Structure 1
């Protein structure tokens, strides 16, 4: 990747910082494989750290979880799905270019669904006229992360990175609008009930 000056450095840095902040919410680790296949150091570093953090989250959850059998079964199922995906992409798609395209498409679909998932709470927010179920800090983090990755994808002319992160910008603005329409002051009764 060619260095394009200060703007490129700023975009790369934003991708790393904002994405590492977002890993507390959990992100698709398929981007690590995509970055490795593409030889993209930014994707590799960010998703390696993310994989380590998510592994720590799972181990901590397993340690403190009272019903370990259910969680272990879910974790084993997830690992099985990951191994099937790995087998498909690395064994059944021998052409590296085809693998890159298919893996990019897979990661994009997963990322888009992740960014659209908060819209499931939209009906609840409108029905209750309360944004209590939405996280304002997560909305800011989503906007910053998705915007920086959109810019990064644009600079690389990588449609998988660019297009998959655009819904994060759109859904963030929808959530900001909901915070504006139903300000937290309307949720005072909820806060009073909890104290």
Structure 2
């Protein structure tokens, strides 16, 4: 919304059109999220949208329109937009730290990082051609952070694959006629044995256990009958 306001102030039709389209998409996204979110998440999202999108925008608009001289409004608004854009680009740094700690790229999709980087490149070129530092400066930061994310993805994606292989298990459910059913999570090593071999092996072990349990059960019944006869 701030970049839309900036585009109106500078008569930049591309900034106005693209950010207007972005606002529409974000509104649709927020509506869909609120519609399907839980009650607590819905309340929190509504509060954040009202505080960050409505209250903050209205406050900035009023300050610029009534507190800043007309010949400095565009400059002040531009630097506000620049600072917010840099904070948006820096937001994924928390995910970067998580990737380094866990050596997993599960929470850092590559496509998102790729297109954010491409967007930063295009907007940098646009700002450079227009000689607008408020446009190309934050996108320099965005480009650097995007490259860092893609490099980390390429480096740690192999660790994620190895981790998935290490954690590959098969859950075998064995129905016990003398009690509750049991679930056996068994690590599966495809290089050593097949799924069928694992199932047969576990079934044989469980069958022996069931026979022992049944024998004990029969002995207990005979003991009870003997006591009743005596």
TM-score between the two structures when normalised by the length of structure 1: 0.77
2:68 corresponds in structure 1 to 93
Match of 1:52 among 24, 41, 47: 24
Q: How does 1:24-173 map to 2 (within 5 A)?
A: 29-67=1-39, 68-78=42-52, 79-95=54-70, 97-173=71-147
TM superposition shift of 1:43: 0.1
**Distance between the aligned counterparts of 1:63 and 1:117, measured in 2?**
25
Q: Which has the higher contact order (CA 8 A, sep 6+)?
A: 1
Structure 1 vs Structure 2 CA RMSD: 2.0
Larger helix share, 1 or 2: 1
**Distance between the aligned counterparts of 1:45 and 1:194, measured in 2?**
51
**Distance between the aligned counterparts of 2:114 and 2:43, measured in 1?**
36
Check the 8 A contact 2:2/2:57 in 1, yes or no.
no
Structure having the higher Rg? 2
**Distance between the aligned counterparts of 2:153 and 2:95, measured in 1?**
13
User: Runs of 5+ in structure 2 lacking a partner?
Assistant: 171-230
Larger strand share, 1 or 2: 2
